[in-house]
Amino acid sequence: MKTCIVRKGLPRIDAIPKVSGEAQYTVDLKMPGLLVGKILRSPHAHARIKSIDTSAAKALDGVLAVITAEDVPENLFAFYQWQADKHILCTDRVRYVGDEVAAVAAMDDDTAEAALDLIKVEYEALPVILDIDEAMKPGAQLIHEGKESNSTWSVDRLFGDPDKALAECDYVVEGTYVTHQLAHCCLEVSNCIAKWDKRDKLTIWTNAQAPHTQRQEVARVLGIPRRNVRIINSTMGGGFGSKLVMDMKLPIASVLSRLTGRPVRIVNTRSEEFTTAKTRYPYTLHLKTGATKDGKILVRDLTLIGDNGAYHDKGPATINFSSMMFGTLYNVPNIRFHGELVYTNKAMGTAFRGFGNPQVTFATESQIDELAEKMGMDPLELRRRNVNHPDETAACGAEVCGCAMSECMELAAKEIGWEEKRGKGAPLRGVGLANMVHTGGGGRFYGFNSAEAIIKLSDEGTVTLITSALDMGQGAHTAMAQIAAEELGVRLEDINVLSHDTELTPYDLGSWGSRATFMNGNAVLAAAEDARQSLVEAAAEMLEADPADILVEESKVWVKGSHEKHDLSEVVDHTVNEHGEPISGIGRFVDHLPEGYTIPTAFAKNIPCFSFGTQAVEVEVDPETGQVNVLRVVAAHETGTTINQTMAEGQLEGSMAQGIGFALMERLVHDDEGRIVNDRFLDYKIPNIGDVPEMKAYCVESVGTRGPFGAKGIGEPGLVPTAPAIANAIYDAIGVRLHEVPMTREQIIKALKEKRASET
Amino acid sequence: MKTCIVRKGLPRIDAIPKVSGEAQYTVDLKMPGLLVGKILRSPHAHARIKSIDTSAAKALDGVLAVITAEDVPENLFAFYQWQADKHILCTDRVRYVGDEVAAVAAMDDDTAEAALDLIKVEYEALPVILDIDEAMKPGAQLIHEGKESNSTWSVDRLFGDPDKALAECDYVVEGTYVTHQLAHCCLEVSNCIAKWDKRDKLTIWTNAQAPHTQRQEVARVLGIPRRNVRIINSTMGGGFGSKLVMDMKLPIASVLSRLTGRPVRIVNTRSEEFTTAKTRYPYTLHLKTGATKDGKILVRDLTLIGDNGAYHDKGPATINFSSMMFGTLYNVPNIRFHGELVYTNKAMGTAFRGFGNPQVTFATESQIDELAEKMGMDPLELRRRNVNHPDETAACGAEVCGCAMSECMELAAKEIGWEEKRGKGAPLRGVGLANMVHTGGGGRFYGFNSAEAIIKLSDEGTVTLITSALDMGQGAHTAMAQIAAEELGVRLEDINVLSHDTELTPYDLGSWGSRATFMNGNAVLAAAEDARQSLVEAAAEMLEADPADILVEESKVWVKGSHEKHDLSEVVDHTVNEHGEPISGIGRFVDHLPEGYTIPTAFAKNIPCFSFGTQAVEVEVDPETGQVNVLRVVAAHETGTTINQTMAEGQLEGSMAQGIGFALMERLVHDDEGRIVNDRFLDYKIPNIGDVPEMKAYCVESVGTRGPFGAKGIGEPGLVPTAPAIANAIYDAIGVRLHEVPMTREQIIKALKEKRASET
C-alpha cells in the first residue's frame, strides 16, 4: 500500500501545546464565579452513619453550600443500572474508606477544607471485609443489606465438553493464580467543573474517556433529561480505564452548582486519586489446562473470582471480556469458564487497560509453561502447536480474520535469543515468552459498536475534522488526523480536530477496548471519502478534466499525466469563494450484528477484530535480595497497518512499562481497617526510568481486518503478556514458579527457600 | 401552511442567559495569563509622524510589549484588497482623529493606560479636510499621497435612456439631499482577545458579524496562512454593520500576543467606539425624478457622493447596493446612477443596517411627495400608479418574485388614517408615508451567496444544529432553531445551536443584508430535511411501518391512523442505542448564478429575494421650538412567512426607533480640527423611551420567494422608509420640506422662517 501520511512516525498534533504548557486541562480553566468544591469522605471501611451535623460548616464565612444525602436525588447508580447500588452521597452507611458522605462549595481551597473539618459525622462501626474468601463465607456480614450474599454476579460459558476432554488428555496441569488491586496512576487526577445554568442546562467540563455515556450516567443519577446535560472534555492526562464510568464528583459538583448558581470545580487530591478513583479488578483464578501428548491443547477450565470492591462498576463487562479472550487464545475446543464478582469493603474496581485480560493471561500463559515443563516440551514449541490462524472461527465463536500470531511469536523468540538462551543461559538469568490476543476494535458490549465523523473543508484548504475519537493522551486525534489527511490527500498540519463535546460530536461509546483507531478511524475514513469525492469533482470542474483523472496528494492537485500541480488551496478557494460550495462529508461505521447471533454461544462475535502479539523477556534474579532485573523486553504486536509508527511503538513501550509494574511492583496495600497505606507515588511503586529496561517494540503488519487502511487498535495489548513472560523468565532463571502478581522480592525469597527445602 | 414552531412568537432561545447575565461576552472571558492591550491613537485628523519614542513606556513595570509600525507587517489593508490603504499601525502619517499609532500590552488597565501616556509621538500637522466639496476641489491636499485626487472610486449604472425620458416627462422635480455620519451605537463595544499559540495558530475571540471573512482579513493583513487563524465569537451585543469588517484591534492584539506569548484583550472605550468604530456613509444626493401627467414615473437620475472617511472599507459595496435598490423600487424604466466616494479626514464609513438604502430612500421617497405636490396628486395615489408587482423583472434586471408592495402600502395608509388625515389633519399635525424595497436574503456581493448547515441527533432526541448563521443579537439562532425544529418535528427547546467558530461552522459570509434567515435558514432546512429522512426511516423500522406513514410532530412520532404516539426520544434511543446509528444531516443552499448574468446590465440579479414595505407616520410640530413629536408609526413589511412573530416585530420596532434617530436626532459632530465632540451617549442623542412613539408593526405574509418556509429577511427594512415618511409628514403638518437628516429643531425653525419670508 502506497501511503503518504499513514504509516509514518509523524509527531503528534498536540505535541507543542502539551510541551509548551498551552494545553488546557480542567484545572487550567477559568470562569467567572468559579467555586471550589470538596468532598467529605468516609474514614471507615464499613460503618453506619448515625448523624451528620453540617451547621458549623454552613456558618463558616465563604462557604456557599454544604450538602449531604438529603440534598441529592435518591437514585441509586451503577454503570449497569440493573446493578445500581451506590448513592451520590451515602445515606445511612459507608462501605469503603473514601465513600462520599458530604460535600461543600466555597470561595477557595482553604475555606472548603476548613468547612469539611467542621462537618460532624457520627459513625457506628460495622465488621470490615477485605478478602473475597471471608466475604463468601456463609453468614458473612452483608456489605449491601437485602442481598442474599456478598457474591453479587456470575457468568458461565461452556464450549465443547471439558470433562470428556480432560479425561482424554495425556497431561493436565492445575493451579491458582492471584492478582491484586492496582491504581491507574494517571498523571492527571479525576476532576470536573459543573455549571448548572439558568436554562436548567448542566454543562460539565471534565476528563472523561466516554463523554456521551457519562452524560447519560449523570442524567440518570440526577434524574434529569439527558438532553439537558452537556459534557465537554478538556485536554486529558491519561485514562487507562479509570475515567470511563462517571465519578460521583460529577453529580456532586452539579448539585453544588445548582444550589449556588455558580460553576463548581472538584479536583481529586493525589491521595483521593489513589484511594477512590477505582482500581483494576483483582482476580483469583483457578485454572486447569489439558493437552494430548503431541502437544494439542484440548481443554481449559477456569474459575475466576473477581473482587468487586464496595460497589458495582464495570465488573460484569470485565469478566465477560476475560472470558472472550480466554476462549479465543489458541482456539481451544473445550472451554469452561466460571466468573464471579464478590463485594468487599474496598474501593470499587473498574475498567483498566487490558480489561481483565492481563489477569487471565498471567494465569493461562504461566500455565502453558507449566504444562510444557510437565510434558518435557519446549514452551515455544507447545505454543507453535496451538497458534491461532487467520480466518478461523474459534470454538467460542470468535471470528479471527486477520491474525499474525505465528509471525509475532517467531519474531519475539528470535529477537530475545530463545534458541541460545532458553534453559541454557547464564546462571540466574532466564528468558520467558508469552502470547496474547486482544480486541483491536472495542466490542459490541453496549449492544452495538459504531462511530460517526464529519469533515468540512473551508477556504484555503482548512480541514476541520469532527470526531468522537476520545484522546485521553494516547494520540487518538493524531491518528484520526492522519487517516483524514491520507484519504483527502492533504498535509497533516492542515487538519484541525474538533472533539470532546457531547453537543458537537456524534454519539459515541468513547475510548476503551483499543477501539478508537478501528471504529472512529473507520468513520473518519468514510467521512474523508465522502469529502474527497466533492473535492475531486471541484478540481475536475476547475481544471476542466475528468474526475477520474484527478490526483490529490500532500495538498497538491493535478490531472493525471500533467506536470502542472496546483495547491489544494486553489481548488478549495475556487469552489468555496467562487461558487460558494464548501466541501464536506459525513461518514459512519457500524459493526453490524452478525446473522444468527446469539449470546452466549457466539458471545465473542462481539469483537470486530482481534489483535495478537507476543512478548519475550530476559531477566536476572538476585537470589539474596529477591530482586528481579528485567534486562530486555521484546514485543511483537500485530497492528494490521501501523497508522503512526512512533505512536504505536510508544503505546507498546508504555504498556510494557505498565506490564512490568503489574508483574513486579504495583499493588494497593490495605491495613486491617481497610485503609490504603500507599496512597502516594512515594509509597506506591511504579516503574521509573531506572526500572525500565531496553525495550524493542515491533509493529507486525497483517492483512484481513476491516480497520481503516487495515489498522487495528494497539492501545492495550502491550500490557497483556508482560507479566507471564516475566514469570516464565524467572522460572527459567531460578526454577521457581510464582502464581501471584506483583512478584515481589519477598515472594521470590520465600519461593527460593521453599524450593531449597523441597530439594533437600 | 400548517406550522407548529415557525410563525409563532416563541421566546428567544438565548433569552434566559442574556437576562440572567450568564451569557459570556468577550469581556467576560477569563483565561490564564490574559493581558490588557490598549491602543495609542492619533489626536490629529491629519499629520505627519515625525518620531515615536516608546522607551519610557517599555521601561514601565508591568508592561510586556509596546509596538509601533516597525513591529507589524507592512501589508496594506482594506475590505477590498484592491483598495488597500491602511496599515495596522500608522507608518508616517495619521489621517483621522483615532488612527492607530502604537499599542501596548500590560498586566492591567492602569499600567496599560500609563504606558500609553509615556509614548512620545512628534507630529507635524497637515491641512485637515472634513468636507467632500473641499476634498474634491482641484489642488486639494491629498489625503493619500500618490493618488490622483481624493475622489477614490466611482460607479455608473444606466438603464433605458434617461435623457430621452426626461424630455418626455410632463413633470420633473430635482433636489439635493444630505445625510451625515452616524454611529452604530451597539450596546457592546468592539473588542477581542487574541492568542497566538506555540503551534503558530492564532485564535481570536471577538464579536464579529462575519467570522469567516474576518479570518481571511486577519490572515491577509498579517501575511499568514488563513488556515492558521481561528475566530471564535462570544455572545454579541449588537452589530448593525459595524462589526462586519475587521477592526485593526484584531491584528494589533495578535501581534501583541505573539510578542508576549500570552493572550491579549483589547476593548474599546465608549469614546473609542464613537470615534473609531466607523460610521454610516454620509451621502450627498442630487436627484431628479420625472413622470408623465398620468402619474407614471418614467425616469430617475441620481448623483451620489459618499464621504468615505480616511480609509476604504465597505464603500463600493454600499454604493452599489444603493444603486440596486434605487433601480428596483417602482421599476422605473429609465435609470441613471452615478456614485462616487471621496476621502476626508474623518473616521471611515462602513456597513450600517440598510447598507446605503436609508440614505437613498430618504431622497427618493421625499421626492415622490414633492413630485406629487407638483402634479397636484395625492402622494399615495402617485405611489399606487408605480407599485412593483410580483414576478416582474425590473428594468435594472432585478427579479422581483414575491412582492406584497400594494398590500403593505394600503395597510399602512389605512392604519395611519390616510384618507381622514392627509392634508386635512389638525393644525401642526401631519401624516406621511414612504415605501421601500430591500434585499431579503443578502446578495452575491462576494461573487457568490451560499450557506451550509449540519444537524445531528443524539440519544434521547438531543438535536445539535451547527449553523454559520451569525447571531449578533438579532435572534438568528432562534430563527434557525425554529426552522430545524419545524422540519424535524421536535420541540424548540430540544435544539442546541452551535455556531460562531470558524473551525466548526461551514464557510459563510456572515450576517448582513438581512441574509441569515433566507440563506442560512435554507441551509438549515435542507440539513433538517436530510436528517428527517433518517429519522423517519428509523421510526418506520422501529414501528414496523411504511416510512410514508410516519408522522413526526412536537417530538411525538406515530403511524398514520394509529393513536399510539411515541416520544421522539424512543425512536432516537432505539436507533442510536440499539443499532448504533446516529441520525445526522448536511444541508446546503447556493444562490446559483443566473444564466446569462452580466454586470452591470443585470447587477441587481445579485439579490436572491426582495422585501417590500411601507411606513406611515403621524407627527406634530412645535413651530416655536422646532420640536417634531412623532405620534405614531405604522410599519407594514413583507416577511414572506414570518418565522417568529415576536422577533420580527421586535426587528421592525427596533429599526423604526433607529429610523427616528436617523430622521431627527443622530449625527456625529466634528469640531474644526476633526475631533468628534459628541463621543458619549450623553452628547450623542439616540431615541430614548420618551422619544419612541406608539408603534404598530405588521408582518405581511406573501408568496413567491425561495426562503425557508417562504421566509424573507427582515433585519434591515424597518429602518429604511422611516426618515422620508417623517419628512413627508412634517411637510403635511407645516408645509416645509427638509432635505437634510437629521431634521433638527434648528432646521425646522430655519425652514419655517424661510417659508414665512417667502410667503410675505
Q: Contact B246/B278 with Cβ under 8 angstroms?
A: no
Q: Which pLDDT score, from 0 to 100, does residue A579 have?
A: 79
B578 touches chain A (CB under 8 A): yes
Asked whether residue B31 carries a pLDDT value surpassing 90, the answer given is yes
Strands (E), B403-493: 429-439, 450-457, 463-467
Q: Which of A535, A566, A590 is the last residue of a domain?
A: A590
Cβ neighbours of A634 (radius 10 Å) = 26
B751 touches B740 (CB < 8 A): no
Q: Which residues contact B544 (CB under 8 A, 6 or more apart)?
A: none
The per-residue pLDDT of chain A, averaged, comes to: 95
Burial category of A694 from C-beta neighbours within 10 Å (exposed 0-12, middle 13-18, buried 19 and up): exposed
Same structural domain for residues A287 and A303? yes
Q: State whether B283 and B425 are in the same domain.
A: yes
Same domain, A85 and A224: yes
Residue A599's pLDDT is what? 61
Judge whether A522 is closer than 8 Å to chain B, CB to CB: no
- Nearest-by-CA chain B residue for A25: B32
Chain B residues whose beta carbon lies within 8 Å of the beta carbon of residue A578 = 447-448
The per-residue pLDDT for A164 is 98
Residue A35 near residue A107, CB atoms below 8 Å: yes
Position A712 in a domain: yes
**Considering chain A, what percentage of its residues have pLDDT values greater than 70?**
99
- B577: domain CATH number is 3.30.365.10
- Residue closest to B454 by CA, chosen among A167, A527, A379: A527
Q: pLDDT band at A458, cuts 50/70/90?
A: confident
CB contact under 8 A, A461 and B197: no
CB contact under 8 A, A506 and B197: no
- B461 in the same domain as B578: yes
Q: What is the pLDDT of residue B503?
A: 93
Among the partner residues A197, A459, A461, nearest to B22 by beta-carbon distance:
A197
Global ipTM: 0.91
**Nearest CA among A271, A247, A224 for reference residue A681:** A271
Nearest CA in chain A to B582: A507
Q: What is the pLDDT of residue B462?
A: 83
Residue A1 in this model has a pLDDT that exceeds 70: no
Judge whether B168 lies within some domain.
no
Q: Crossing angle for the helix pair A357-375 and A315-328, nearest 10 degrees?
A: 30
Q: How confident is the model at residue A33 (pLDDT cuts 50, 70, 90)?
A: very high
Strand order in the sheet with B191-196: B63-67, B100-106, B35-41, B264-267, B191-196, B202-206, B229-233
Are A498 and B502 inside 8 Å of each other by CB? Answer: no
- Percentage with pLDDT > 70 across chain B: 99
B567 touching chain A per CB within 8 A = no
Residues in A closer than 8 angstroms to B578, CB to CB, are 447-448
Q: Which of A512, A166, A139, A134 is nearest to A305 (CA)?
A: A134
Tell me whether residues B17 and A504 touch, CB distance under 8 A.
Answer: no
pLDDT at B141 over 90: yes
- What would the pLDDT profile of B375-407 be if each residue is shown by its tens digit? 999 999 999 999 999 999 999 989 898 899 999
Q: For residue B158, what pLDDT band results from cuts at 50, 70 and 90?
A: very high
pLDDT, tens digit, for every residue of B670-687? 999 999 999 999 999 999
A2 in reach of chain B (CB within 8 A) = no
Q: Is A507's CB within 8 Å of B459's CB?
A: yes
End-of-domain residue from the set B540, B556, B590: B590
Whether residue B482 lies inside any domain: the answer is yes
pLDDT of res. A401: 84
Inter-chain touch A504–B466, beta carbons under 8 Å: yes
The answer to whether the predicted template modeling score (pTM) of the entire model surpasses 0.90 is: yes
Mean pLDDT of all residues in B171-193: 98
Given A22, A31, A581, which is nearest B590 (Cβ)?
A: A581
B619 lies in some domain:
yes
What does the pLDDT read at residue B1? 64
- A411 in the same domain as A494: no
Please tell me the distance in Å from A507's CA to the nearest CA on chain B: 6
Instruction: Give domain status of residue A8, yes or no.
Output: no
- How far away is chain B from the Cα of A504, in angstroms, using its nearest Cα? 7
Tell me the pLDDT tens digit for each residue of A371-383.
Answer: 999 999 999 999 9
B75 shares a domain with B208: yes
Calculate what percentage of chain B has a pLDDT beyond 90: 90
Of chain A residues 665-724, which have a CB less than 8 A from chain B?
none
Has residue B174 been placed in a domain? no
Contact criterion met (CB below 8 Å) for A528 and A588? no
Tell me the sheet residues that pair with B453: B467, B587
The per-residue pLDDT for A447 is 75
Q: Locate B405 and state its grid cell.
A: 408592495
CA-CA distance, B221 to B208, in Å (whole number)? Answer: 17
Confidence band (pLDDT; 50, 70, 90) for B604?
A: confident
Question: Which residue from A24, A460, A576 is facing B225, i.e. has the nearest CB?
Answer: A460
Report helix, strand or coil for B203.
strand
- Of the partner residues B227, B461, B498, the one whose CB lies closest to the CB of residue A504: B498
Interface of B with A in 413-472 (CB under 8 A): 446-450, 452, 454, 456, 458-462, 464, 466
**Residue labelled with grid coordinates 509494574:** A661
- Give the number of other CB atoms < 10 A from CB of residue A30: 11
Yes or no, beta carbons of B464 and A504 under 8 Å apart: yes
Q: Which of A236-250, A359-373, B163-177, B435-449 has the lowest mean pLDDT?
A: B435-449
Q: Decide: B112 and B102 in contact? Cβ < 8 Å.
A: no
Q: Which residue has the higher pLDDT, B752 or B600?
A: B752
Could you tell me if A496 lies within 8 Å of chain B, comparing CB atoms?
yes
| Cβ within 8 Å, pair A579-B20 | no
CA–CA distance, B33 with B23 (Å, rounded to integer): 22
Domain assignment present for residue B5? The answer is no
| DSSP notation for B703-720 | ----SGGG----SSGGGT
Residues B102 and B212 in one domain: yes
Whether the ω angle into residue A600 lies within 30 degrees of 0, i.e. cis, is yes
CB contact under 8 A, B581 and A591: no
Q: What is the mean pLDDT of chain B?
A: 95
- Position B577 scores a pLDDT of 75
Whether residue A531 is found in the same domain as residue A678: no
Give percent above pLDDT 90 in chain A.
90
Q: Are residues B567 and B625 both part of a single domain? A: no
Same domain, B308 and B418: yes
A5 to chain B, minimum CA–CA distance in Å?
19
Length of chain B: 760
Query: Which of B560, B590, B620 delimits the end of a domain?
Result: B590
Say if residue A205 is in the same domain as residue A78.
yes
Please, which residues 144-203 of chain A have a Cβ atom closer than 8 Å to chain B? Answer: 197-199
- The predicted pLDDT at position A460 comes to 78
Does B197 sit within 8 Å of A17, measured CB to CB? yes
- CATH number (domain holding residue B55): 3.90.1170.50
Chain A and chain B share a number of CB contacts under 8 A equal to 147
Report whether pLDDT(B602) > 70.
no
Lowest mean pLDDT among A221-235, A576-590, B481-495: A576-590
With beta carbons under 8 A apart, name residues in chain A contacting B579: 448, 450, 590
pLDDT tens-digit readout, B320-356:
999 999 999 999 999 999 999 999 999 999 999 999 9
Whether A17 sits inside 8 A of B581 (CB atoms) is no
Quickly state the pLDDT bin for B3 (edges 50, 70, 90): confident
Count up the domains in chain A and report the number.
3
Query: Using CB atoms, which residue from A17, A219, A454 is nearest to B454?
Result: A454
Q: Are residues B403 and B461 in the same domain?
A: no
CB contact (8 A) between residue A446 and residue B577: yes
Range of the domain at B55: 31-126+187-238+243-276
Give the residue on B whose Cα is nearest the Cα of A18. B198
The answer to the question of residue A4 being in a domain is: no
Note the pLDDT of residue A15.
95
Mean pLDDT of A438-450: 86
Residue of A nearest to B215 (CA): A459
Q: What are the tens digits of pLDDT across the range A319-370?
A: 999 999 999 999 999 999 999 999 999 999 999 999 999 999 999 999 999 9
- Amino acid identity for residue A309 in this structure: G
Residue B288 has pLDDT above 70, yes or no: yes
Is B105:B48 a contact under the CB 8 Å cutoff?
no
